[in-house]
Amino acid sequence: MATSLKNLNDYKKEGFGDISEKKFGIVVADWHSEITDVLCAGAIDTLLKHGAQKEHIFRNTVPGSFELTLGAQFLAMQEEIDAVICIGVVIKGDTKHDDYINHAVANGLTNVSLKFNKPVSFGLVTTNNLEQALDRAGGKHGNKGVEAAAAAIHMLSF
């Protein structure tokens, strides 16, 4: 489905298990922090709404989205962390940097998830311009942080 037809705040809640004792690590990229902060707030709100405890949510920052993978690994390797949520915004520019970063993050997070057998969700907004990113950070397409948190909760119930 094209993202223009999907609101990121609409997710299926059926089958979500009890997360009141689960611990969540969140890794947030500092690049475009005015947007990643909104995405992170959406993720935290979603965890709290579904019963997570505030003290069980650990937020960490990394310089840019490229570093999300190592940040995720530092958290996933901690036994007490049950799931990791990664948040970043990569906007297309004059060069192909966005392609390299996006592919590296997608592959990197998949590898971390498989290596540690834990949900590591992909809260990376990858857009052509700033407006599209804002549309996905609480704008007309919802909030990608909400979707990433919901994906982590869903996978914990697998």
**Tokens coding 116:** 């540690």
User: Which residue's CB atom is positioned nearest to ligand RBF?
Assistant: 64
Report the residue number, 52 or 148, with the smaller CB distance to ligand RBF: 148
Q: In whole angstroms, what is the distance from residue 53 CA to residue 127 CA?
A: 32
- What is the nearest approach in angstroms of ligand RBF to the Cβ of residue 137? 13
Q: Which of 92, 51, 142, 12 is nearest to 134 (CA)?
A: 142
**Tokens coding 84:** 């990791």
Active site residue 141: no
Known binding residue 69? Answer is no
Q: Name the amino acid, one letter, at 156.
A: L
Summarize as ranges the residues that interact with ligand RBF (CB under 6 A).
29, 31-32, 63-67, 88-91, 93, 97, 101
The upper half-sphere exposure of residue 124, i.e. CA atoms within 13 Å in the direction of its Cβ, equals 25
Catalytic residue among 32, 97, 103, 154: 97
> Which residue numbers belong to the known binding site for 5-amino-6-(D-ribitylamino)uracil?
31, 65-67, 89-91, 122
Positions annotated as catalytic residues are: 97
